[in-house]
Chain A
Amino acid sequence: MDVFAASSLRDVLPDVDDAPRYTFAGSDELAAQIRDGAPVDLFLSASRAPVQELREARLVEAPVVFASNRLVVVVPAGDPAGVGSFEGLRRPGLKLVLGGEGVPIGDYAREALAAADFDAALDNVVSLEQDVKGVLGKVALDEADAGIVYATDVAAAGSGVVALEVPDEFQPEVRYYAAVVADGDREHAMELLERLTGKAGAAALRRAGFLPVPR
């Protein structure tokens, strides 16, 4: 079975089920490949828009929310630029890296900055990356002063980076959507979906730092 999944799920999915063949990338990029006919059975997206588009084109079945996540500000170990906090992103001259337009992590980050009215932070953006990996890499190499990624990415990134909290009032609703792909191996896709939303999946997701879906 083939599964297309958001980059941020890279470490947790094999814990849930290591049998399928996983392809990890930005959800928007994966959706574009499914639109172009990639042979895949289940799509796990880090935001609603990519699944929604596929749903409207009748390429996937009705999506299910299976996890949520939080944003954090990520800085190189030791915070050499002295960002200090989410508010610190406004300081002029800071080198900030975000995901690009249409990339879920980029759109969520812009949502958080807009909620906080941090226009100055947007002026600090020096690069728009294709996915979480691009953002984390630039920060871990200490070329960028800060980036915005999911809380779960930081644990996976190791000791090169440190996370700073994004306050609750500015957190966007980060939701992960699962959708069975039309014309795929429906039986196995449903099986993985049940496992993901069941006890074992919830435990693995929790261990990796994902949050349960708020009711």
Chain B
Amino acid sequence: MSRLFTVALWAALAAAVLFLLLPVVALFLRVPPDELVAQLGSERARDALRVSLTTSLVAHALIIGFGTPAAYLLATRTFRGRALVVSILELPLVLPPAVAGIGLLAAFGRSGLLGDELGALGLTIPFTQLAVVLAVCFVASPFYVRAAIAAFEAIDPRLLDASRTLGADGSRTFRRVALPLAAGGLGAGSTLAFARGLGEFGATIMFAGSLPGLTQTAPLAIYDSLDEDFDVALALGAVFVLFSILILLAAKLTPSWTRSSSGSPFPFARSRST
């Protein structure tokens, strides 16, 4: 009986692995390697990768710059409405990207909520790289913020107290004690958010449009190439697979995770019960 159970477990695992691996393998089988390299040299593919990389890097800097202090505050202080604030920060996780796109248009579009104010500053956001950056920030930031809250929460509060009693002020404690201790978790959240941002599609196509060399990111180029340059679509897809494997490996090799091998590499924020 228990033998049958074990077989069932292995069968389920095999089915899951096969199902997830097959599309990835098929992608590489359909483009010969030399063709893949040739397609990557095409202007279309290079433009798309360049747009993707620049916008993702800028968005990532914003996510880390705002997300880290925000997460530290949420992890180390209790205040009324904290749970609500955390929920707001997590909302984009459950929002369909197309809804995010409409929302961004309704807020920052030319005829949106802030349209007149932005217009007075001479800013029109839709159809610009700034729009791509905002779409990526909106969709990817929760992945970082959740991980960052969890990482800061995992620090033994006595260490932070000790730092303060030894004379370090709040800012110094944050920089010299909290940040180094949370580095592993922050790195994990950061890679996950970066990967999610690179793959952003729905909010971008609605908010930023799709213009090669300006706002057409790699996922938009894949979709756009499907009908005519199927090889470009496959080549870009293959690059994404390779890149994603690199990201996963980088995440697996982050030292802090060696502490517990059974847990998910991406810790999520806990609700604060103490």
Contacts and interface: CB of A to CB of B under 8 A. Distances in A.
B209 A130 contact: no
Interface in A74-112: 95, 97, 100-103
Contacts of A138: 209
A31 B212 CA distance: 23
Contacts of B111: 141-143
Contact of A141 (B105, B210, B223, B224): B105
Contacts of A128: 209-212, 216, 224
Interface string B195-232: 00000000001001111100110000001101110100
B210 A100 contact: yes
A55 to B, nearest CB: 16
Interface string A113-138: 00000000000011111100010001
A26 B228 CA distance: 12
Contacts of B230: 32
Interface of B: 105, 109-111, 124, 126-127, 205, 208-212, 215-216, 223-224, 226-228, 230
Interface residues of A, number: 23
A143 B127 contact: yes
B227 A31 contact: yes
B134 to A, nearest CB: 14
A200 to B, nearest CB: 32
B210 A129 contact: yes
Nearest to B212: A128
A104 to B, nearest CB: 11
A29 interface: yes
A206 B205 CA distance: 34
A170 B126 CA distance: 30
B228 A102 contact: yes
A134 B227 CA distance: 16
Contacts of A153: none
Contacts of B216: 128
A129 B206 CA distance: 10
A130 B105 CA distance: 19
Contacts of B211: 125-128
Scoring A32, A97, A125, A141 by chain B CB atoms within 10 A of each residue's CB, the highest score goes to A141
A143 B126 contact: yes
B109 A141 contact: yes
Interface in A129-176: 129-130, 134, 138, 141-144
B48 to A, nearest CB: 13
A28 B212 CA distance: 19
B139 to A, nearest CB: 19
B183 to A, nearest CB: 40
Given A143-B110, A143-B127, A129 B228 contact: no
Contacts of B109: 141-143
B224 A100 contact: yes
Given A128-B210, A141-B105, A28 B227 contact: yes
A125 B105 CA distance: 19
B227 A143 contact: no
B209 A97 contact: yes
A120 B226 CA distance: 29
B127 A127 contact: yes
Nearest to B126: A143
A32 B210 contact: no
Given A95-B127, A143-B126, A126 B209 contact: yes
Given A126-B127, A141-B109, A143-B105, A28 B210 contact: no
A97 B210 CA distance: 10
Given A101-B228, A138-B209, A127 B215 contact: yes
A29 B224 CA distance: 9
Given A125-B211, A126-B211, A143-B127, 20 more contacts: A26-B227, A29-B226, A32-B227, A95-B124, A95-B127, A97-B209, A101-B228, A102-B228, A103-B227, A127-B127, A127-B208, A127-B209, A127-B210, A127-B211, A128-B224, A130-B223, A130-B224, A142-B110, A143-B109, A143-B126
A102 B230 CA distance: 13
Nearest to A97: B209
A29 B205 CA distance: 17
Contacts of A29: 226-227
Contact of A32 (B110, B208, B209, B226): B226
A129 to B, nearest CB: 7
Contacts of A32: 226-227, 230
A31 B230 CA distance: 13
A28 B209 contact: no
A34 to B, nearest CB: 11
